[in-house]
A = this chain, B = another copy of it.
Amino acid sequence: MDKKYVYFFGKDKAEGNAKMKELLGGKGANLAEMARLGIPVPPGFTITTEVCTRYYESHGDYPSGLEAQVKESLIRVEDAMGAKFGDNENPLLLSVRSGARASMPGMMDTVLNIGLNDITLKGLIAQSKNERFAYDCYRRFVQMYGDVVLGLKPVEKDERDPFEIILEEKKEKNGVTFDYELSSDDLKELVIEFKTEIKKRLNIDFPEDPLEQLWGAIGSVFSSWNNPRAIAYRELNHIPEHWGTAINVQAMVFGNLGEDSGTGVAFTRDPATGENVFYGEYLLNAQGEDVVAGIRTPRPINNLQKGKSLLPSLEEEMPEIYNQLLDIRKTLEIHYRDLQDVEFTIQRGKLYMLQTRSGKRTGFAAIRIAVEMVEEKLIEKEEAIMRVEPEQLNQLLSPILDPEEKKKAIAQGRLLAKGLNAGPGGASGKVIFNASEAEELAQKGEEDIILVRIETSPEDIRGMNAAKGILTARGGMTSHAALVARQMGKVCVVGSEALEIDYSKQVMRVKGREIKKGDYISVDGTIGEVYLDKIKETPSETLQVLIDKTLEPKESDIYQIFTKIMSWSDEIRTLGIRTNADKSDQVSVALSFGAEGIGLCRTEHMFFEGDRIDSVREMILADDKAGREKALSKLMPMQKEDFISIFRLMDGMPVTIRTLDPPLHEFLPKSEKEIDRLAKKMGILREKLTTKIEGLHESNPMLGHRGCRLGIVYPEITEMQARAIFEASCQVAKEGIKVVPEVMIPLVGHVRELIMQKQVVDRVAKEVMESCGINIEYMVGTMIELPRAAITADEIAEVAEFFSFGTNDLTQMAFGLSRDDAGKFLPYYINKRIIEKDPFQELDQDGVGKLIEIAVQRGRNTKPTLKVGICGEHGGDPSSIEFFYRTGLDYVSCSPYRIPIARLAAAQSVLRSRNRGVGGPKKAQ
Interface residues of A (CB under 8 A from B): 698-705, 707, 709, 712-713, 747, 749-750, 752-753, 756, 785-788, 791-792, 795, 809, 812-818, 820-822, 824-825, 828-829, 832-835, 844, 846-848, 850-851
Q: Which of B787, B817, B832, B848 contacts A851 (CB 8 A)?
A: B787
Q: List 28 A-B contacts (CB under 8 A).
A: A698-B818, A698-B820, A698-B821, A700-B820, A702-B703, A702-B816, A703-B816, A703-B821, A704-B818, A704-B821, A704-B822, A704-B824, A705-B824, A709-B825, A712-B834, A747-B816, A749-B815, A750-B834, A752-B833, A752-B834, A756-B834, A785-B816, A787-B787, A788-B816, A791-B851, A792-B847, A813-B814, A813-B816
Q: Which chain B residue lies CB-closest to A846?
A: B792
Contact B788 A818 (CB under 8 A): no
Q: Which chain B residue lies CB-closest to A705?
A: B824
Contact B816 A809 (CB under 8 A): yes
Contact A818 B699 (CB under 8 A): yes
Q: Which of B786, B816, B828 contacts A749 (CB 8 A)?
A: B816
Contact A703 B834 (CB under 8 A): no
A749 cross-chain contacts in B, Cβ below 8 A: 814-817, 847
Whole-angstrom CA separation of A814 from B703 in the bound complex: 10
Question: Which 4 residue pairs across A and B have the least CB separation, nearest first?
Answer: A703-B818, A787-B787, A700-B818, A788-B847
Contact B753 A705 (CB under 8 A): no
Whole-angstrom CA separation of A812 from B785 in the bound complex: 14
Given contacts A785-B816, A787-B813, A788-B844, 10 further A-B contacts (CB under 8 A): A698-B821, A699-B821, A703-B821, A704-B821, A747-B816, A750-B835, A756-B834, A786-B816, A788-B816, A792-B847
Whole-angstrom CA separation of A820 from B702 in the bound complex: 12
Whole-angstrom CA separation of A833 from B755 in the bound complex: 12
A705 to chain B, nearest CB (A): 4
Whole-angstrom CA separation of A809 from B817 in the bound complex: 12
Contact B850 A792 (CB under 8 A): yes
A785 cross-chain contacts in B, Cβ below 8 A: 816
Contact A701 B821 (CB under 8 A): yes
A820 cross-chain contacts in B, Cβ below 8 A: 698-700
Q: Which of B699, B825, B844, B846 contacts A702 (CB 8 A)?
A: B699
Whole-angstrom CA separation of A585 from B714 in the bound complex: 48
Whole-angstrom CA separation of A833 from B751 in the bound complex: 12
A757 to chain B, nearest CB (A): 10
Whole-angstrom CA separation of A158 from B914 in the bound complex: 76
Q: Which chain B residue lies CB-closest to A747?
A: B816
Whole-angstrom CA separation of A829 from B757 in the bound complex: 13
A705 cross-chain contacts in B, Cβ below 8 A: 821, 824-825
A833 cross-chain contacts in B, Cβ below 8 A: 752
From A756, A791, A832, name the one whose CB has the most chain B CB atoms within 10 angstroms. A791
Q: Which of B756, B788, B821 contacts A700 (CB 8 A)?
A: B821
A703 to chain B, nearest CB (A): 3
Whole-angstrom CA separation of A792 from B814 in the bound complex: 11
Contact A753 B704 (CB under 8 A): no
Q: Which chain B residue lies CB-closest to A858?
A: B850
Q: Which chain B residue lies CB-closest to A847?
A: B788
Q: Which chain B residue lies CB-closest to A698?
A: B821
Whole-angstrom CA separation of A834 from B698 in the bound complex: 22
A62 to chain B, nearest CB (A): 29
Contact A828 B701 (CB under 8 A): no
A856 to chain B, nearest CB (A): 14
A259 to chain B, nearest CB (A): 57
Whole-angstrom CA separation of A818 from B709 in the bound complex: 13
Contact A788 B848 (CB under 8 A): yes
Q: Which chain B residue lies CB-closest to A834?
A: B752
Q: Which chain B residue lies CB-closest to A786?
A: B816
Whole-angstrom CA separation of A785 from B817 in the bound complex: 12
Q: Which chain B residue lies CB-closest to A791?
A: B850
Q: Which chain B residue lies CB-closest to A707?
A: B816
* Given contacts A700-B700, A834-B752, A712 and B828 within 8 Å (CB-CB): yes
A848 cross-chain contacts in B, Cβ below 8 A: 788
Whole-angstrom CA separation of A47 from B234 in the bound complex: 79
A809 cross-chain contacts in B, Cβ below 8 A: 816
A788 cross-chain contacts in B, Cβ below 8 A: 814-816, 844, 847-848
A825 cross-chain contacts in B, Cβ below 8 A: 705, 709, 712-713
Whole-angstrom CA separation of A455 from B761 in the bound complex: 46
Whole-angstrom CA separation of A848 from B702 in the bound complex: 19
A701 cross-chain contacts in B, Cβ below 8 A: 699-700, 821
Q: Which chain B residue lies CB-closest to A820?
A: B699
A850 cross-chain contacts in B, Cβ below 8 A: 791-792
Whole-angstrom CA separation of A787 from B834 in the bound complex: 18
A816 cross-chain contacts in B, Cβ below 8 A: 702-703, 707, 747, 749, 785-788, 809, 813
A461 to chain B, nearest CB (A): 24
A802 to chain B, nearest CB (A): 20
* Given contacts A712-B834, A825-B709, A825-B713, A847 and B700 within 8 Å (CB-CB): no
